[in-house]
Structure 1
Amino acid sequence: MGRISGSPTVQTLALMLVVSLLYWSAQAVFAVFPLVNPAAVFALGPTFTATPWTLVTSVYAHADPYHLLGNAVTLLFVGLLLERSTTNTRFHLFVLVTGILAGLAQVFGGSLLGQSGFVLGTSGAIFALIGYVVTANPVSEVAFSRLRLTRGVQFLIFAVLAVAVTVLTGAPGVALVAHFAGLLLGLVAGRLHVLEPSTPRGERSSAERSRI
């Protein structure tokens, strides 16, 4: 039981559930007493400077149970895979920071695609976790080492890949810009191994065998 509760993936799922329940409860109250729109309190929008806490709440709140369930299932698979090679603190910071950055990208870039200026959900951070797994695994490490591509070329490849995945997974109402930004952040972060606990360079080769 202690091992399960100590999992950063399980902890993130719990945060998603609690914050989403608060959001849905606020929606129910608003339906009866239309005073303050819950979206303004939980969702990240263009006026986030007036409600800075939405940078955090928007990462964990979800529009409805189906939205939460879809993200929870994906997080469960990728999170449990990735958490073995990092620390709880690094995992939570990665989810929060990439979630915020993906949300901001959606707020400011979504209008170009005719999407809403408000965003809710953990999908941006989840796409970042997926991107991290793609580029931080030993197979990718060997491939990039042999190709010897410059950082600029690697970034271009990641951007093209992020666009392709975003288009293929796109659907009405989906935060496409957040997904693109999250995946791109994860791909870059994976190449930099930002989730790895500090390891002396001389020990990295042996650590590669057990990573992800």
Structure 2
Amino acid sequence: MKLRKTNYLILLCILTSVLLWLFADEQTFDLLAFNTENLLKGRIWTLITSLFIHSDPAHLIGNMIFFYIFGNTIEKELSHKWVTIPFFIGGVTTFLLSTQFYDPSTYLVGASAAIFTLTAIVMLLKPLKFSFYFLMPLGLVAIIYFFYNLIAISLGSQGNISYIGHIIGFLTGIPFGVASNKEWHKNLLITTALLGIYLFTIWFLLPFILNLL
């Protein structure tokens, strides 16, 4: 059975992260992880290597689940180029634009933003593709996480999650989604309808749920 390029990238993320956790010192991490200081030092390669570095197992596992589901959906429907090219462009674009929002010494690591690029593509390509992991269509998953990150930014949420980076990655994926499907506008309407149904269902069921608590 031939392994898809998506899964090769996933394996590379896992291998890189685990090796760094086990063997890397601070100097090695600094040579591979992206931040503004490294960019100014000319360490351009960190724009790529940082995509494969994850801070801890939870960060890695969460990202790889999304990567596997959304990446393989795109690759199965189109080709591996529609995964690899948007993945790297989304990741690099996000790192570069995020320098405006973070301290120059703050490291930005992980594939999250690049994966958000892929979620935007799926939203416009196969929004009704059902995920048994999320128990909902992938278009709905994509748009829910997009608004979740917008809300987190508006509330001033802090921590190790780059909500701004996720939004940049998602928006970077929109042109790819449009280019991937001539009927993207119909799929955007479908996604909007799915979100409306989801919100109405939550609003309708919320009183019953609260009564059970």
Task: Give the TM-score, by structure 2 length.
Answer: 0.66
Q: Which moved more, 1:65-74 or 1:101-110?
A: 101-110
Structure 1 unaligned segments of length 5 or more: list them.
Answer: 31-35, 140-159, 197-203
Which residue matches 1:77?
69
Tell me if 1:179 matches 2:179. no
| In structure 2, C-alpha distance between the alignment counterparts of 1:99 and 1:23, rounded to whole Å | 20
Following TM superposition, by how much is the alpha carbon of 1:82 offset from its aligned partner in structure 2, in angstroms?
1.3
Assess if the C-alpha contact under 8 Å between 2:53 and 2:110 holds in 1. yes
| In structure 1, C-alpha distance between the alignment counterparts of 2:114 and 2:179, rounded to whole Å | 17
Q: For 1:71-91, what per-residue CA distance to the aligned partner results, in whole angstroms no more than 9, with x for missing partners?
A: 011111111211112222342
Aligned residue runs from structure 1 range 23-34, under 5 A: 23-27=20-24, 30=25
Letter matched to residue 164 of structure 1 = F
* Matched position secondary structure for 1:48: helix
| In structure 1, C-alpha distance between the alignment counterparts of 2:98 and 2:162, rounded to whole Å | 7
| In structure 2, C-alpha distance between the alignment counterparts of 1:52 and 1:79, rounded to whole Å | 25
Tell me if 1:8 matches 2:19. no
Which residue matches 2:113?
124
* Matched position secondary structure for 1:109: coil
Identity %: 22
Which residue matches 2:92?
100
Q: For 1:147-172, what per-residue CA distance to the aligned partner results, in whole angstroms no more than 9, with x for missing partners?
A: xxxxxxxxxxxxx9997342346662
Assess if the C-alpha contact under 8 Å between 1:110 and 1:175 holds in 2. no
Letter matched to residue 60 of structure 2 = L
Following TM superposition, by how much is the alpha carbon of 1:178 offset from its aligned partner in structure 2, in angstroms?
1.1
What is the alpha-carbon root mean square deviation over aligned residues? Answer: 3.0
| In structure 1, C-alpha distance between the alignment counterparts of 2:86 and 2:44, rounded to whole Å | 19
Assess if the C-alpha contact under 8 Å between 1:79 and 1:129 holds in 2. yes
Which residue matches 1:44?
34
Q: How many pairs were matched up?
A: 165
Which residue matches 1:19?
16
Q: For 1:34-72, what per-residue CA distance to the aligned partner results, in whole angstroms no more than 9, with x for missing partners?
A: xx5233112111132421111111111111111101101
Q: For 1:159-201, what per-residue CA distance to the aligned partner results, in whole angstroms no more than 9, with x for missing partners?
A: x9997342346662101121010011112321122xx7xxxxx
Q: For 1:126-157, what per-residue CA distance to the aligned partner results, in whole angstroms no more than 9, with x for missing partners?
A: 11110111123488xxxxxxxxxxxxxxxxxx
Greater relative contact order structure (CA < 8 Å, 6+ sep): 1
